[in-house]
Structures are given as C-alpha cells and as structure tokens.
Chains A and B, each alone.
Chain A
C-alpha cells in the first residue's frame, strides 16, 4: 500500500509535494544547462571545442523548455495550488483526486520523454523552446537535433498539454464546488483567485498548443503541409510534395498559447505575494477587489496580445498597432497591482521574514521586468529590439526571476505547513540577498547587450565585429550567473537540512488569518481573508474561522 500512498497517491498534499520536487529537479537541471551556456559564451574555444554550436543550441532549447514548462508552470500552480487550494477554501480534497494523480504522472512522463531527447542520435533539438517551423518541421536536414530529438520534444509538449488540461479542470471544479460554508468567492485568499484564473488560462492555452503540436508532428511524420510552403530547398536538396502551408500559422498558434503562458507562470506568484505581504505587514490587502479584477484583466488581455511576439514576422503591419495598444494596456492592471502592493505595506508593521523579503523582491523585479515591456510592446521600437538580448533580459526578469521569487516566498511561507518544520531564516536571508543583488547584476547588463544590438540565440560572438566588442559585458554577466547559481545551493542545502532537522513549527507560526493555518475538519468561514490589525479584535489577526461577533469589515 506504500505504492498507493507515496507514489500513485491521490492525496492532494502528496501530489503537491511531488510536483514541487519535480520542479526542483527541473530547475536545478535548467540552471546547470544555463551555466554551461554562459561558460561557453565567454570561453568559446575552451575544452577543445567540446561545446559545438549545435550542442549550445540544444542546451538552450532544453533550458527554455524545462524552465517554462516544468518549473514555472508546474511549481506555482500545480505544486502550491494542489497543496494549498483545498486547504485555503476548506475542502478536504481536490474535486477529482484520481485525475489529479494522473495529471502528475502524465507530467512526469512528459519530462522523461523530454529528457530522453538528450540521448538519441543527433541530440536534443536546436530550434529553441518556440520551435519555429520550417526549422522544426523538416527533420534532420535542417540540422542536428532536428531528427528524433525534435520529435521527442513535440511528443513531450503534447503530453504536457494533456496533463495541464487535466490539472486545470480539477482546479476549476474544486473552486466551483468545494468551498466550505461561508467561503464566498470574495472571501477567498488571493492565491486561490490566482490559481483559478491560471487554471482558466491553461485550460484554453494548452488546448491550443496541443492542437499545434499535433499539426507539427503531422508535418514531420505524415507529409502534411500545415506549416510548410512550396519551394523549400535545404542545402542541395529540394523538399518535394509540400505546398500551401504557412510558417506564420505556427507562430500564431504557439503565441496564442505562449503569451498566456507568461501569465500562467506569474499570476500565482502575484497571489502568493499579496498573501505574504499582507501577513507580514499585519495589514489587509490594499484593494482586494481591485487585485482580483486586475488579475482577471491581465489574464483576459493576455489572450489578445500574442501578436506582439510577431511584429517582425511578416504578419500584417496593421494588426501590430492593435496588438501594441492592447499590450501597453496590460501596463494598467499591472500598475494597479504594484500600487496596491506598496499600499498594502504602507502604514503596516513590517516583519522582515525571508518570505517577506522575497515578496518585496518580487515587487521590485516585477516593476523592472515590466517596464522593459513598455519598450518591446511598441512595434516601432521592436524594429531594433526584437530578438535581441534585450528581450532575453526582459522575459528572464519578469517571467523567470519574478515568478521564481513568488515560488521562494511561497516556499518560506508555507514550508511549516507542508513539512511541519521551519526553514532556517539566517540561511534564507543570505540566499535572498545574494539572489536579489545577483539577478540585477545578471540581467540589467543584458539589457545593455540588447541596446548594443546583440541578437539572441548566438552560441558565439566571433563572427560579427561589433559583438566582439561586447565581451567585457558578457564576462560580467557570466560571473553574475555563477554567483546567482551558487546562492541557490544555499537554498537547496537549507531545504534538505530543514526537512530533517529544522525546528518544529507551530500550527500557525506567522499568526496568519487563512484556513491553511487551522486544522478544523469542517471549517466555517465568517471573515474576509486578510483581517489583520482589525480595531477591537482581541489579536492583531482575525482568522477566517474566528467567531462572527469579532468585529470586522467583511
């Protein structure tokens, strides 16, 4: 029965932890790949040229795929969501526990298929996590890694889509049906809102990506021409029998998924950060409803801005204007969130736990990463910046770093509930400061590389004269990357040490208000989620389950 309990468990808490450790494995691998890439960039001739251009591009493809799918999609939503959604809304389980188990193991299978691409002939694909055809659609002739490696990549993504759709259905059903007595939608903690919105996003987005992946697979293996036009000619060989397809169709389908995917990665972080900031400011969330509406607005707009990834693609330049206005409109709900996070802290009694530091760090990098989007969202300015290092810096800051800070905030905040012990705060703070300073040192100079015109996805910078002049900047970035990676070892050590030896935690160690900090079997909710410092209440926090006669607003 251990097998049922530990491996093929249907318990949402076990599944949440399984997702967490799957994400941890993936992120460590993803970081390791990026270190090899950064090393190669500054020492392209080292190791006797062992890192060939095609190997570099394979590492890049796998780095992106691991991080986007198996870290940023899996941890904030599937790991924390599975564990804490039922707890926060007072449900005993997810709506479909067995489906939940299937979602996890399907995700694990998808990861196994992805990693197997490293070991097949030709290696992992070289077409990037965006896999643009024709490069990704014609097989070995387009380059090493474009044979079986690319096929495995597509199959892996297809499986991942199925897993994500199953997971999303579960989240939506759980929130719709299993809220405990008194838990109205507007009394849900903000992470629950963020998981609901993210589930709706991934339901629609991954369904489309699944379709696109199937079409790409058919182009590769069944001779169809969804993405291939007539007249393709590779090296000395013409590709016969294809006609009528459009490479742009893939980009439309991919980014219809790809842009919402950015929000799939970051919206749960927004929920977690609001939750943590409120708890450690001892103040209600500033503008709870505005926070909910802002997330909904961001999610909705996220579905109508995919074209801003395609300003230079050859699509109609007229549509670029619409995509641009809608894109910059996302700045508005994003600004609401930023103001409200600062508003939440304003007038508070800030407690600087590690979770709080990461939440504050999230706000800082969210602003920094968001603002470069104001540059890229204008097609006119994108004429220079598209596909440069500026873009790489932008999405690493907003999607990579901000979402990761959300994960760290969640980890330090919820670890006591997940494992009954507390993470070491001293190590946690050291980890935070090194990471926070490190990511700025790493990614701000990367914007400058872009400003100087550095194209992205270049294994080396020896063939273009103006790129050679930028090597000092590259060396600085590489050292910053080493520092940030080393700092993560502190976290990993802290995590595994505290799992075994951390001090035992009380049931509600942070004096927080929400249901995950009670152990009532059938909770009844009488208050809004963030009743901190309510005047007249006996303590400076009123738990959602506290008796209704305690004075409060909601």
Chain B
C-alpha cells in the first residue's frame, strides 16, 4: 500500500527533522531560557510520540484492513464506550498536565514583579525604528511631550529639555544592558503595534500604543543579539531590526558615561 509506506517514511522523517536539531533555537542566555527549553523539550517529545503513534496506527490500519478479494463483511460495531472513556481521560490528563507544567514558567515572566534594583529602560517603537531610554545619573525619567518629538534632531521620544530630569536621559537606537543584572523594560509604541523579541532570551512582548507594558529579565552572558520586530507594523516591518548588547557592568557604565558626555 503506497499510502501506508508514505505515512511510515513521513512519520520517521518528521521525527528525525526535529530530533536532529539542525534548525533549532540559538543557545539561551539566562535561567528562563534554560527552563523554557526544558518545557519545550517535554512538549515536543510528547507531541512527537503521539504524532508517530497516530501516523503509524493509520499506516497499520491501511495495510491490515484493506479489502482483499472476497473475504466477507467488515466487523459490525458501533463503538466501544470503555475505550472512549479510556482515551478521553488519558488525553485530558496528559494535555492539562502539560499546560499546568508550563504555567510556572509563565508566572515567573509575567506574575513576578521585577526586582526593586532592576535597571529600568523605556522602550519606544515607531514605524520602523526602536528607541531605548535610560534615566541617566539622576535615576529619573524626565518629562516628555508629543510636541517635542523630532526624529531628525534625535529626539524620537519627545524629551522636554525644560525639565532638568530630562536633560540627562540617554536615548539609544540599540539596547545595551549589563550582564547579571535584572533589567526592567517599559514597552511603549508611538503609532502602531510592534513586538519586541529576543530569541536568546526566549521572550516576546507586543508594544501597544496607549499602554505601558513591563517586561523583566536578567541576561547572564555577554554578546550581541538581534531584535527583529515581530508584529506586522507596516511596509518596513521586516527592516525594523535592532540589537541587544549584553555588556559587563564596567563596559556598560563606560558606554553610558560616554553618551552623557556627548550630550553635554
């Protein structure tokens, strides 16, 4: 039976494609990523087993019960309630168990508040660029207003220079964070919905106009990681890319100081 053979090859091939890990996540850079990979592995193994068993069962049925010459009638049966009950209860336990296992991971990202000493960074998205605002030495984000927005003059968030707290605010087109220190992003959008995504952090969050959405993490490895916009935002969507650079605390301080000096 051709179809049964195709199903067999297919089932084995698909399982191999996922097991070979040729196309896979990049290595994670924090504890959340490690926990994420664990939950994903749990899920994908379970799905893989169910996938393989279902396709194999289909293939077996096709071979075993194909019509062959004159062998009399099919079995007459309208079903089996005990079997129905068995597979209903077992799938319910497996699927709901899996969902509950993943809940802890979600809770750590979204139910837990960022630690009090987290570095706050305000992220503003617009068609088709990112801005990251740091509060500067005074630790306070200064006043902003729409009328001060001037992209050409390097003021994409509309800093009000009349406010002393604004004067030391640093606005960067790339995200820089110190390693091993909790970071709290405050996500905003100026125009349409965008989405912040760092593969290595296993984190994604939309930026919605009219909302301030918090997101916290703590990167544990230095390096430069790409941030591609992940919610359709217009014709430049695929070009809306920036980077997140995880630096040592010393490098980070030096970078901030250099930006401050530039500003003055």
A interface with B by C-beta (< 8 Å):
52-54, 57, 126-128, 132, 134-135, 142-144, 229-236, 238, 245-248, 281-288, 290, 312-314, 317-318, 320-321, 324-325, 327-329, 331-332, 335-336, 338-340, 342-343, 345-352, 357, 360, 363-364, 367-368, 371-372, 374-375, 377-384, 386-388, 433, 436-437, 440, 444-445, 448-449, 451-453, 455-467, 470, 473, 532-535, 540, 553
B38 to chain A, nearest CB (A): 11
Query: Once the chains bind, are A532 and B74 in contact (CB under 8 Å)?
Result: yes
Smallest distance from the beta carbon of A59 to chain B beta carbons, Å?
13
Closest B residue to A325 using CB positions: B99
- A232 to B190, Cβ gap below 8 A? yes
Separation of A470 and B14 alpha carbons in the complex (Å): 18
Could you tell me if B149 and A364 are in contact, using CB atoms closer than 8 angstroms? no
Q: Which residue of B lies closest to A230 (CB)?
A: B210
Report yes or no: A473 in contact with B23, Cβ–Cβ below 8 A: yes
A145 to chain B, nearest CB (A): 8
Is B62 in the interface zone, CB < 8 Å from A?
yes
Tell me the bound Cα distance from A342 to B213 in angstroms. 47
Residue of A with least CB distance to B213: A314
Residue of A nearest to B187 (CB): A314
Most chain A beta carbons < 10 A, residue from B57, B102, B127, B241? B102
Q: Contacting A229 at CB < 8 Å: which of B50, B96, B210, B233?
A: B210
In-complex Cβ contact of B76 among A345, A387, A533 (8 A): A533
Closest 3 CB pairs of A and B: A229-B210, A317-B110, A347-B75
B53-69 vs A, CB cutoff 8 Å, 1 = contact: the mask equals 01101100110011100
Are B106 and A460 in contact, CB atoms less than 8 angstroms apart? Answer: no
Chain A contacts for B208, CB-based, 8 A: 247-248, 313-314
Q: A284 vs B74: C-alpha distance in the bound complex, in angstroms? A: 10
Q: A135-B234, A233-B146, A452-B23 are in contact. Are A350 and B99 (CB under 8 A)?
A: no
10 inter-chain pairs at a CB distance below 8 angstroms, sorted by A residue, are A53-B237, A231-B190, A234-B127, A245-B210, A282-B73, A312-B195, A350-B61, A360-B62, A371-B51, A452-B25
B57–A386 CB distance below 8 A: no
A52: which B residues are within 8 A, CB to CB?
235
Interface string of B22-64 (1 = CB under 8 A from A): 1111100000000010011001101100110011011001100
* B3 at interface by CB-CB < 8 Å: yes
> Cβ of B87 and Cβ of A339 under 8 Å apart?
yes
Query: A384 with B79: in contact, given A232-B209, A283-B74 (CB under 8 Å)?
Result: no
Name the residue on B nearest A450 (C-beta): B23
Say whether A374 contacts B54, CB under 8 Å. no
Q: Contacts A313-B208, A440-B10, A448-B17; is A467 near B228 (CB within 8 Å)?
A: yes
- Known interface pairs A233-B149, A328-B96. Does A53 touch B236 (Cβ–Cβ under 8 Å)? yes
Which single member of A126, A313, A335, A378 contacts B87 (CB below 8 Å)?
Answer: A335
A381 touches B235 (CB 8 A): no
Q: Which chain A positions have C-beta within 8 A of B84? A: 287, 290, 336, 339-340
The reply on B249 being an interface residue by CB < 8 A is: no
When C-beta atoms are compared, the residue in chain A nearest to B232 turns out to be A457
Hey, which chain A residues are within 8 Å of B197, CB to CB? Answer: 387, 453, 455
Partner of A247, one of B147, B210, B229: B210
Residue A374 contacts which of B24, B95, B151, B228 (CB distance < 8 angstroms)?
Answer: B95
Which B residues lie within 8 Å of A532 (CB)? 74, 76
> Does B88 belong to the interface (CB within 8 Å)?
yes
B55 touching A364, Cβ below 8 Å: yes
B58–A364 touching, CB < 8 Å: yes
Q: Are A375 and B78 in contact (CB under 8 A)?
A: no
Closest Cβ of chain A: how far from B45's Cβ, in Å? 11
Are A324 and B103 in touch, CB under 8 angstroms? yes
Partner of B230, one of A126, A283, A386: A386
Q: Closest residue to B228 on the A side, CB-wise? A: A464
Q: Is B244 an interface residue (CB 8 A)?
A: no
Chain B residues with CB under 8 A of A336: 84, 87-88, 91
Q: Determine which residue in A328, A342, A553 has the highest number of CB atoms from chain B within 10 A of its CB, and name it.
A: A328
How far apart are the CA atoms of A379 and B203 in the complex, in Å? 11
Residue pair A351, B25 in contact (C-beta under 8 Å): no
Residues of A within 8 A of B25 (CB): 384, 451-453
CA distance A132 to B233 in the complex (A): 9
For the complex, give the distance between the alpha carbons of A349 and B76 in Å. Answer: 11
The reply to whether A127 and B232 contact each other, CB–CB distance below 8 Å, is: yes
B111 and A318 contacting across the interface, CB-CB below 8 Å: yes
**A76 CA to B204 CA in the complex, in Å?**
36
* B99 nearest CB neighbor, chain A only: A328
Complex: how many Å from CA A460 to CA B241?
A: 13
Interfacial chain A residues near B67, Cβ < 8 Å: 282, 349-351
Q: Which A residues are CB-close (under 8 A) to B235?
A: 52-54, 57, 126, 143-144
Residues from 137 to 181 in B contacting A, C-beta threshold 8 Å:
146-147, 149, 151
**In the bound complex, do residue B2 and residue A433 qualify as a contact, i.e. CB atoms below 8 Å apart?**
yes
Contact A380 B66 (CB under 8 A): no
Does A345 contact B195, Cβ atoms closer than 8 Å?
no
Complex contact A349–B73 (CB within 8 A) = yes
Docked-complex contact B65 and A346, CB < 8 angstroms: yes
**Docked pose: A155 CA to B55 CA in angstroms:** 43
| A378 partner, pick from B66, B99, B234, beta carbons under 8 A | B99
Query: Which residues of A lie under 8 Å from residue B78 when comparing CB positions?
Result: 284-288, 553
Instruction: List the A side residues contacting B260 at CB < 8 Å.
Output: none
Q: How far is the CB of B56 from chain A (nearest CB, A)?
A: 11
Residues of chain A contacted by B36 (CB below 8 angstroms): 380-381, 383-384
Q: Which residue of B lies closest to A135 (CB)?
A: B192
Shortest CB distance A220–B (Å): 14
A246 to B213, CA, bound (A): 14
A291 vs chain B, min Cβ distance (A): 9
Q: A312-B205, A328-B99, A349-B74 are in contact. Are A453 and B199 (CB under 8 A)?
A: yes
Could you tell me if A387 and B230 are in contact, using CB atoms closer than 8 angstroms? yes
Q: Which residue of B lies closest to A144 (CB)?
A: B235
Contact partner of B61 (CB less than 8 A), chosen from A142, A346, A437, A540, is A346
Q: If A128-B232, A143-B234, A324-B103 touch, does A533 touch B241 (CB 8 Å cutoff)?
A: no
Residue of B nearest to A472 (CB): B23
Q: Which residue of B lies closest to A455 (CB)?
A: B230
How far is A77 from B52 in the complex, measured between Cα atoms in Å?
31
CB of B3 within 8 A of CB of A352, answer yes
Per-residue CB contact flags for chain B residues 217-257 toward chain A (1 = under 8 Å, else 0) read: 00000000010111111111111010000000000000000
Mask of B182-195 contacts with A, CB within 8 angstroms, 1/0: 00000000111101
Contact B239 A463 (CB under 8 A): yes
CB contacts (< 8 Å) of A533 on chain B: these are: 73-76
Q: Is the CB of B23 within 8 A of A233?
A: no
A134 in contact with B151 given A324-B103, A347-B65 (CB within 8 Å): no
| Given A342-B58, A349-B65, A540-B74; A464-B39 close (CB under 8 Å) | no
Report which of A236, A331, A367, A381 forms a contact with B55, defined as CB distance below 8 A: A367
> B6 touching A235 by the CB < 8 A rule?
no
Report if B7 contacts A (CB, 8 A).
yes
How far does the alpha carbon of A16 sit from the alpha carbon of B46 in the complex, in Å? 42
Question: A375 near B75 (CB under 8 angstroms)?
Answer: no
Q: Are B71 and A335 in contact (CB under 8 A)?
A: no
Chain B proximity of A464: nearest CB distance (Å): 5
Q: Are A464 and B241 in contact (CB under 8 A)?
A: yes
Q: Which of B86-132 contact A (CB under 8 A)?
A: 87-88, 91-92, 95-96, 98-100, 102-103, 105-106, 109-111, 126-127
